[in-house]
């Protein structure tokens, strides 16, 4: 296929519950990369809960008929005239952070995830639920040749965001970590924390997810509203359920930190100061990631390769994958793989 031939892409036509199939498959020419852009042939793209929030309307669309997907593994097809460091055939990953301004006080301080002008793959610019996509060469990651495409894709958001959430949770060395929810990101974060020497307790509603957690080395796995078997030094809330914030705070030991990892969360109920926050318990949010986070996580994952529990779907079944994620039928990570 040349860059002038039409390909296919999924778009969010009208946000609606995933069971109503809000995605529509359309024909779209891949185009020609400009400036620092790379044209990528998509080989695999992870299905993230953020994609679900976009499709269902929890995140207001910022690009009409946007193509979701920000865990993209692809091959460079063509390079824009100002793109540096890549050549056709290179294996690369495109993630959630698509561009930043590079000059604001947040970017200059190494906090580009807070850039007011930041733009995101699959929200502000078209993502990876497509045969081809375009990404800024300054924001893509070079990927190793060994692992399978579908095993690398979840690392590009689920893994990177889990890494940042773990850093935000301020888990002390050898500490006790609670993970609330056990989907794509949590199953990678659990392995990262265990490799660092932590004791991991998983709290999640899904029985299959609890079994997977134990298989991956968690010390315990219980229901999301159960108390863990010991006080926690830190916790990460991956489930987009605000009702679990007070539950997690109560499970923290003195001085513990709760990091809330999702881009969307249902309303948090009223907190009681002495019951939930006293004794220097802390709540911190997680907002996107920096490229430094991405590079650091991918390097750590190369040193300690995670077991990536993947449920693959053909790209032509993207709407089905999204519906399965919404229905709680995916254990680990759902990944779209190229039809060709």
The pLDDT confidence band at residue 217, using thresholds 50, 70 and 90, is very high
* Whether residues 199 and 140 fall in one domain: no
How far is residue 88's CA from residue 305's CA, in Å, rounded to a whole number? 27
2 within a domain of the structure (yes/no): no
- Structural domain span for residue 122: 7-156+309-337
Q: What is the pLDDT of residues 26-67, one digit of tens each?
A: 999 988 999 999 999 999 999 999 999 999 999 988 999 999
148 within a domain of the structure (yes/no): yes
* Whether residues 24 and 71 fall in one domain: yes
**pLDDT value at residue 61:** 86
* Whether residues 145 and 248 fall in one domain: no
* Whether residues 276 and 227 fall in one domain: yes
* Whether residues 266 and 320 fall in one domain: no
Q: What is the mean pLDDT of the chain?
A: 96
* Whether residues 29 and 112 fall in one domain: yes
Residue position matching structure tokens 């990528």: 40
Radius of gyration of the chain (CA): 20
The pLDDT confidence band at residue 130, using thresholds 50, 70 and 90, is very high
| Contacts (Cβ under 8 Å, ≥6 apart) of 313 | 47, 320, 321, 334, 335, 336, 337
HSE (side-chain half, CA atoms, 13 Å) at 3: 15
Share of the chain above pLDDT 90, in %: 95
* Whether residues 281 and 314 fall in one domain: no
Sheet holding 199-203, edge to edge: 220-222, 199-203, 176-180, 232-237, 252-260, 282-285
Domain harbouring 225, CATH code: 3.40.50.720
290 within a domain of the structure (yes/no): no
pTM over 0.75: yes
How far is residue 27's CA from residue 7's CA, in Å, rounded to a whole number? 5
Domain harbouring 327, CATH code: 3.90.180.10
Interior/surface letters 21-37, b for 16+ CB within 10 angstroms, e for the rest: ebbeeeebebbebeebb
Phi, psi (degrees; rounded to nearest 5) at 46: -70, 155
Domain total for the chain?
2
* Whether residues 124 and 240 fall in one domain: no
Q: Look at residues 60, 48, 50 and name the one whose alpha carbon lies nearest to residue 14.
A: 60
* Whether residues 29 and 150 fall in one domain: yes
Residue 3 has pLDDT above 70, yes or no: no
How far is residue 12's CA from residue 245's CA, in Å, rounded to a whole number? 31
* Whether residues 224 and 274 fall in one domain: yes
296 within a domain of the structure (yes/no): no
């Amino acid at each position: 296929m040349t860059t002038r031939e039409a390909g296919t892409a999924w778009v969010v036509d009208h946000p609606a519950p995933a069971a109503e199939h809000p995605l529509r498959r359309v024909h779209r020419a891949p185009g020609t990369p400009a400036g620092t852009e790379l044209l990528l042939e998509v080989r695999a793209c992870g299905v993230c809960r953020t994609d679900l929030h976009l499709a269902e309307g929890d995140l207001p669309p910022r690009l009409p008929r946007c193509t979701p997907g920000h865990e993209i593994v692809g091959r460079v097809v063509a390079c824009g005239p100002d793109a540096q460091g890549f050549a056709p055939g290179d294996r690369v990953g495109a993630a959630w952070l698509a561009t930043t301004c590079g000059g604001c006080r947040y970017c200059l301080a190494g906090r580009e995830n807070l850039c007011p002008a930041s733009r995101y793959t699959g929200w502000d610019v078209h993502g990876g639920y497509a045969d081809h996509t375009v990404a800024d060469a300054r924001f893509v990651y070079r990927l190793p040749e060994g692992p399978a495409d579908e095993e690398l894709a979840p690392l590009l958001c689920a893994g990177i965001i889990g890494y940042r959430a773990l850093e935000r949770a301020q888990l002390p060395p050898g500490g006790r970590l609670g993970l609330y929810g056990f989907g794509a990101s949590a199953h990678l974060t659990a392995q990262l924390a265990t490799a660092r020497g932590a004791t991991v307790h998983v709290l999640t509603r899904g029985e299959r997810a609890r079994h997977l957690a134990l298989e991956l080395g968690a010390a315990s796995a219980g229901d999301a509203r159960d108390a863990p078997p010991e006080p926690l030094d830190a916790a990460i809330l991956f489930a987009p359920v605000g009702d679990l914030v007070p539950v997690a705070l109560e499970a923290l030991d003195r001085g513990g930190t709760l990091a809330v990892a999702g881009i969307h969360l249902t309303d948090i109920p009223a907190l009681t100061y002495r019951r939930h926050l006293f004794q220097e318990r802390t709540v911190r949010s997680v907002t996107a990631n920096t490229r430094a986070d991405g590079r650091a996580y991918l390097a750590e994952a190369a040193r300690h390769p995670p077991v990536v529990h993947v449920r693959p779907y053909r790209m032509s079944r993207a709407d089905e994958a999204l519906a399965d994620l919404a229905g709680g039928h995916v254990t680990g990570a759902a990944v779209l793989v190229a039809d060709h």
